Every structure is written in structure tokens, then in C-alpha cells.
Amino acid sequence: MTPRPRCPFPVLGLLYVGVIGLSAIASSQIPSLHDLGLPFFGSVFATLIVALAIEIRKNRPNACPWLDFGSSSRAVLYLALFVVGVAVVVPGIWPTRSVEWPLRVPAVLLAISFPALLTIHIRVDHNELEEAWVRRSLIFASRLPVYFICTMLALVLLGSVLTFLGVLR
């Protein structure tokens, strides 16, 4: 009996956050490393590790449908990983109190949505089920960042309209 190949994305997600976390801890403890841009390079290094692991796994026979993306989709994935690393993960896990709490909200939402998204992926994509078999709370949790961004956009638009109406008076 051959063992079923496992999905690499749960381990890659932990490795990604771990590398960025180590660079953030090192940068906060050693100010000269922060001045050299270690948080930026930590995100670059974490993205390169994930990209290398995906490219190696992609060329082997695999059961994960997320590894079957084309080159352009993978390039967008790697760019998005870098941006999320710099803009969401680094401020969210920065070990000192120099980062204000509103900048940590996206990281909290990512910490909730990423495991939910991976659970849906493993249950639905690897078992060829439909999303109808997944609990609604799991689907809601996986889409929290999208809901947050849409809410912020709606509030900005509402504020802009109210400001514009105030100017017209």
C-alpha cells in the first residue's frame, strides 16, 4: 500500500510565517539588522522558500490541484505572498509594541482565514467533494479578509460621499 501524498500547503504556510517571524524577532532584538532591512528580506526569503518548494513539488506526480497552476498564476501567487508578507504578516507578528493595533487586524484575519481555507481545500479539492459539504462557518472564516476589505471600502466611500455633501452646503 503506497502512502497517499500529502498536501504541502499547510507546512509551507507554517514555514512561511516562521521565517518571517524569525526575521522580525531578529530585527527587533538587533537594531542594526532592522536598519539593513531584515523584515523586507525575511519576506523575500520566505517567499523564495515557498516558491522553491512549490516548483519542486509541481514537477513530481502530485494529488494537490493547487500545484497544477500555470506559470503566470504561480508568478502572481509568489508576488502576492511577498506583498502579504511585507504588509500583513510582518506588522502582525512584530514582537514589540511599536506597531499600532489597527495594523495587526489583517494578520489576525489571516490567522483565522488561512487555516479555514486550507481545511476547505483539503476537504473539497483533495476528496472531490462540493463546497456544500463544508460548514458555513468555515466558509465564512475563509472569506474574512475579503469581507474586511469590502467593509473598509464601503466605509471609505461613505465617508467620501458625506464629505462631498458637506462641501456642497
Helix (H, G, I), strand (E, B) or coil at 16: helix
Q: Are residues 6 and 31 in the same domain?
A: yes
Residue carrying the nine cell digits 490541484: 65
Say if residues 34 and 26 touch (Cβ distance below 8 Å): no
Q: Are residues 28 and 77 in the same domain?
A: yes
Beta strands in 60-133 (DSSP E): none
Say if residues 121 and 63 touch (Cβ distance below 8 Å): no
Q: Are residues 89 and 38 in the same domain?
A: yes
Q: Are residues 87 and 105 in the same domain?
A: no
pLDDT score, position 128: 64
Say if residues 104 and 88 touch (Cβ distance below 8 Å): no
Q: Are residues 41 and 74 in the same domain?
A: yes
Give the C-alpha separation, 18 to 144, whole Å.
22
Contacts of 40 (CB under 8 A, 6+ apart): 86
C-alpha cell read off for 91: 506588522
**Lowest mean pLDDT across 31-40, 82-91, 104-113:** 31-40
The domain of 158 spans 101-169
- Is residue 4 predicted with pLDDT exceeding 60? no
Contacts of 32 (CB under 8 A, 6+ apart): none
Number of domains in the chain: 2
Give the C-alpha separation, 29 to 15, whole Å.
21
Question: What is the pLDDT confidence band of residue 68, given thresholds at 50, 70 and 90?
Answer: confident
- Among 99, 132, 147, residue at a domain's last position: 99
| Verdict on whether the full-model pTM lies above 0.85 | no
Closest CA to 81 of 48, 34, 38, 116: 48
Question: What is the pLDDT confidence band of residue 48, given thresholds at 50, 70 and 90?
Answer: very high
Residue carrying the nine cell digits 510565517: 17
- Is residue 131 predicted with pLDDT exceeding 70? no
pLDDT score, position 3: 43
C-alpha cell read off for 166: 458637506
pLDDT score, position 73: 86
96: left (phi over 0), alpha (psi -120 to 50) or beta: beta
Q: Are residues 28 and 45 in the same domain?
A: yes
